[in-house]
A and B are shown apart, each in its own frame.
Chain A
Amino acid sequence: MTPEEERAQRRAALRALLARPLLTAERDAEALVLVRRHLTELRSWLTRETGWRLLVDAGAARLFKTASDPRDGTHPARGKAGEPYGRRRYVLLCLALAMLERADAQTTLGRLAEEVLAAAAEPELDFVFTLDSRAERADLVAVVRMLLDWGVLRRVAGDEEAYLSATGDVLYDVRRPVLAALLTGTRGPSTITADSFEERLAELIAEPVADTDDLRNQALRRGLTRKLLEDPVIYYADLDEAERAYLASQRHAVVRRIEEATGLVAEVRAEGIAMVDPDDELTDVRMPEQRTDGHVTLLVAEHLATRGEVPLEELRGFVREAARAHASFWRRGVTEPGAEDGLLSTALAKLTALRLVRLEEGAAMGLPAIARYALDEPVIKGQ
């Protein structure tokens, strides 16, 4: 293999890990082979640049990513159809995992449901779950499907649909090694006694404070590298004094190392840095996109790029107008009263996730990087 090919493989492996921090043999066989092949270099790079642990065994690879920014709420768990998880599913997921942690090597969906039901009924948990409605069963099944996807469970017999229609059960193997590699916080949540949500979150991801200059610099570099690897745009305004100072002197080195290892390209501007992916692969939120929602997002972005802070009411009007103007090319129903709410919230969610827009009370505000996009006239072929 030429050095060029080696590097391409190493990049592919690292990108796979960044996109899917839990790779399983069933689902990501190719990526797992690459990760194993370049394990030594990957591990040393990740340890040096990010401090993230990389665990690889026969059936899975797990990169223990940590949250680069605990304030960022745009990374929900998503179900099969891409719908974000709600509170109930999150709680069910944790209860199911707690039960599986104590389970034998095998269990069934029915048994798991009973145990979760019992656990949900504990008085200290302020949570109502009865399994009576189909919606509740569907939530449990969605959670179980996610566990199957992660490889925590492996289906042996039966299928979840049968359970949903209350006509059957499903048998699973429980895979403890994967179960053991799910939590990524620096501390076990059960050891944290704080009462307020924010304190808990802060303690969960708190890392030991460095006490020498070398270690402090290392911590700064790792923190910045994590942010650049994970987030679409880093604004200098969001960084603290020490980070800004470090970046001012070391930006070039940090950025180059990331470019070399991942194939991302640095878009360095006066307001901040965006590591962009020319291949348009390493992301879970895409822009630009085709179809109605993609077009709405672009229109809203352009509208915000030149206007600073815009009240949501005005944006709704703007989207209504746009829907009328493009009615013949957008999906049906966009011109109905109230349709603009859905269109706008989808567009804003996407722009917020990409750090192009910040939502204030009743208003949206374009952030500097939103100026990256310029809209040409829509091309409409095939008429």
Chain B
Amino acid sequence: MTSPSQEHQPFAHLSAPNAALYREVLRAFARAKERFIVHLRPEDVAAELRRDNDDALSQALDKLREWGNLRADADTGRVTSVEDFHRKRFLFQLTPAGQAAEQAIAFYEEAIGQRGALQSVALGDIAEHLQSLAVLARDADPDPARVHLLLLSLTERFSSLADNAQAFMASLRRAIDFSDGDVEGFVAYKERLIEYINRFIADLANSGARIARLLSELEGCGHEGLLRLAARREAADAVPDGEDAAEAYGRAERRAFESWLNRWRGLRDWFISAGVERPSQARLLRQAAITAIKQLIDAVGLLNERRSGRSDRSADFRALARWFAEAPDEEATHRLWRAAFGLASARHLTVTAATLEEWREVTAGTSWQEAPPIKISPQLRRTGSYERRGKPNRVADRSQARRLLLEQAEREAAETAAARAALRTEGPMLLSELDVLDPRAFRLFLGLLGDALAARRPGETEVKTVTADGSMEVRLALVPDGGEVEIRTEDGVLTGPEHVVEIVDLMAVAP
């Protein structure tokens, strides 16, 4: 692969001021080439573009020649007028660089314009091809040409499926992040979209399962043989030169085989999950599609909310914020709060049963001054309290409290087990070798140490004891001249004489 030469700038016209005209001219050449016409005169180009053969066009052609998109040869054809005879005449054709640039631009435009579509059809095709391959694989001597062709079209279908899936996910995201301007379009589009995704999910589930099965089947009857056949054919195409033809051929075959294996692996990963951590692409795509439907429905809900609202609520809240900021005083803010949100509790006075009795005789025309008052004896602090007259407490529902206690007990048990596991030593070890202990393990350890030291009689240097709850056995032996050691914990540092310690977790299931 040679790098494009320096003087050629076949993409320069894209950023030139007259880009549209240049594109048109080059497209005309490309179209002509499709009709197997190589050379075009300026007047042919003009006719193709349905415009006059004017100066602008000839300048454009000249410029394109300069950039290396076109090549100009002197036109030696007959002319029919004096002016033409005196004018410099050229025949133009696309240079290889210009041709490549055209193809690249066409490809680019196609890729960008692609509104990713999920092809259920592609799924079906892939399954069909695999089916045919499986038939061939069972053949003792499969036809290399057929195998190769099948594999090639399988690759082609598969890569277009993969590309499309990628584009589809991207365009879904775009569809969900619709712009506010295109509400109608979005609502109209979403029904179709959801239906479409649903169909695709179903297809993916069905064909995907079938494809996965076929892949396993093929691998069972030696897919590598088929791949090697295809690799050989490709290697034969790579015409070797020089005397080491055989070696070159071998190399080419190896390379081709590796690339086929790689493609096969891609196909496999797409449809067959490798355990929980590595779900297949198809599964991921399915999940993404389902998520997309959820998000779409959310987005639609949001839209409907916005359309049905009396006003834009976000603007409402912002307006309220401004009103609060501009309210004349604190009391005004409270008034606005109540008027806008209406979340305050109702507010009522109370009365005692005794007074209610007295009031039975009071007529509606009596003033508050004359009606019997509620007599209150303030009961002050030392007395406990003024008796609130409420309804007697109903029997409290304790199920939740019980559940909480149970959860707590379970959690503590789990934590203790973890601490025990952390303390368990692999045979005897020195205290100073204990790892940094977390607070829980450390507390447990202190308990053990206490148990062990308490069990040790004066004068003894070694002790073996089982903890009070029977869950662990600890053996402790003083190390002569061991000196002071430090045990680092998250709570701090414990110092003491060096011991050999061995802790056995009696609760742990013996391996």
B-contacting residues of A (Cβ < 8 Å)?
Answer: 18-22, 64-67, 70-77, 84-87, 90-91, 94-95, 97-99, 101-102, 105, 119, 124-127, 150, 176, 179-180, 182-185, 187-192, 197, 200-201, 204-205, 229-233, 251, 264-265, 267-271, 274-292, 294-295, 298, 326, 329-331, 353-354, 368-383
Which 8 pairs of residues, A with B, have the shortest CB-CB distance?
A188-B311, A94-B321, A184-B342, A98-B317, A73-B331, A190-B315, A374-B373, A329-B380
Residues in chain A near residue B335, CB distance under 8 A:
67, 70-73, 201
- In Å, the complex CA distance between A76 and B336 comes to 9
Q: Is the CB of A98 within 8 A of B384?
A: no
Q: Are A284 and B373 in contact (CB under 8 A)?
A: no
Rounded to whole Å, the gap between the CB of B507 and the closest CB of chain A is: 33
Additional pairs, 20, CB under 8 Å, beyond known A94-B321, A298-B376: A21-B342, A73-B331, A85-B334, A87-B330, A97-B317, A119-B321, A125-B321, A183-B317, A200-B336, A205-B339, A270-B366, A275-B348, A282-B345, A282-B346, A283-B345, A329-B381, A353-B347, A354-B349, A368-B369, A378-B379
Asked whether, in the complex, the Cβ of A271 is within 8 Å of the Cβ of B318, the reply is no
Q: Across the interface, do A268 and B364 meet the contact criterion of CB distance under 8 Å?
A: yes
The contact sample of 28 A-B pairs, CB cut-off 8 A, is A21-B342, A22-B343, A65-B344, A66-B342, A85-B333, A94-B320, A98-B317, A101-B313, A119-B318, A180-B309, A188-B310, A190-B319, A233-B349, A251-B364, A269-B366, A277-B350, A282-B348, A283-B345, A283-B350, A284-B344, A287-B349, A288-B376, A290-B385, A295-B380, A372-B349, A372-B374, A375-B377, A378-B377
Most interface-central of A183, A275, A287, A375 (chain B CB within 10 A): A183
Question: Which listed residue (B315, B334, B367) contacts A368, Cβ 8 A?
Answer: B367
Shortest CB-to-CB span from B322 to chain A, Å, is: 5
Contact across chains for A284 and B347 when beta carbons are under 8 A apart: yes
Chain B residue with Cβ nearest A190 = B315
Question: What class of interface size applies to chain B in its complex with A?
Answer: 35 or more
> In the complex, are the beta carbons of A126 and B325 less than 8 A apart?
yes
Q: Is the CB of A280 within 8 A of B350?
A: yes
A372 B320 Cβ-Cβ under 8 A: no
A197-B332, A267-B359, A373-B373 known; A191-B349 Cβ under 8 A? no
Among the stretches B201-209, B297-305, B479-487, the one at the interface with A is B297-305
Query: Is the beta-carbon distance between A374 and B386 smaller than 8 angstroms?
Result: no
A368 to B349, CA, bound (A): 14
Contact with A74, one of B313, B325, B334, B371 (Cβ below 8 angstroms): B334
| Residues of chain A lying within 8 A (CB to CB) of residue B344 | 21, 65, 75, 284
Residues of chain A contacted by B311 (CB below 8 angstroms) = 187-191
In the complex, the answer to whether A283 meets B312 with C-beta atoms within 8 Å is: no
In the complex, A21 Cα to B344 Cα: how many Å?
Answer: 7
Chain A residues near B373: list those with CB within 8 A: 371-374
Q: How far, in whole Å, are A371 and B375 apart by their CA atoms in the complex?
A: 11
Q: Is B391 an interface residue (CB 8 A)?
A: yes
A21 → chain B closest CB, angstroms = 5
CB distance from A326 to the nearest CB of B (A): 7
Contact pick for A94, options B305, B312, B324, B343, CB 8 Å = B324
Contact between A98 and B318, CB atoms less than 8 A apart: yes
Q: A98 touching B333 by the CB < 8 A rule?
A: no
CB <8 Å contact, B347 and A230 = yes
Given the complex of chains A and B, what is the CA–CA distance between A185 and B339 in angstroms? 6
Question: B325, A84: Cβ atoms under 8 Å?
Answer: no
**In contact, A101 and B314 (Cβ under 8 angstroms):** yes
Residues of A within 8 A of B312 (CB): 188, 190
Contacts of B108 in A (CB 8 A): none
Q: For B339, give its contact among A70, A276, A368 (CB under 8 Å).
A: A70
Contact B319 A187 (CB under 8 A): no
The answer on a CB contact under 8 Å between B321 and A276 is: no
Do B347 and A231 touch (CB < 8 A)?
yes
Of chain B, the residue at the smallest CB distance from A369 is B368
| B383–A381 touching, CB < 8 Å | yes
Per the bound structure, the CA–CA distance linking A289 and B342 in Å amounts to 26
Determine the distance from Cα of A129 to Cα of B347 in the docked complex, in whole angstroms.
34
User: Taking the complex as formed, is B446 at the interface, i.e. its CB lies under 8 A from any CB of chain A?
Assistant: no
CA distance A269 to B327 in the complex (A): 37
Contact residues in B for A381 (Cβ distance below 8 Å)? 379, 382-384
Q: Which of B309, B342, B377, B381 contacts A377 (CB 8 A)?
A: B377
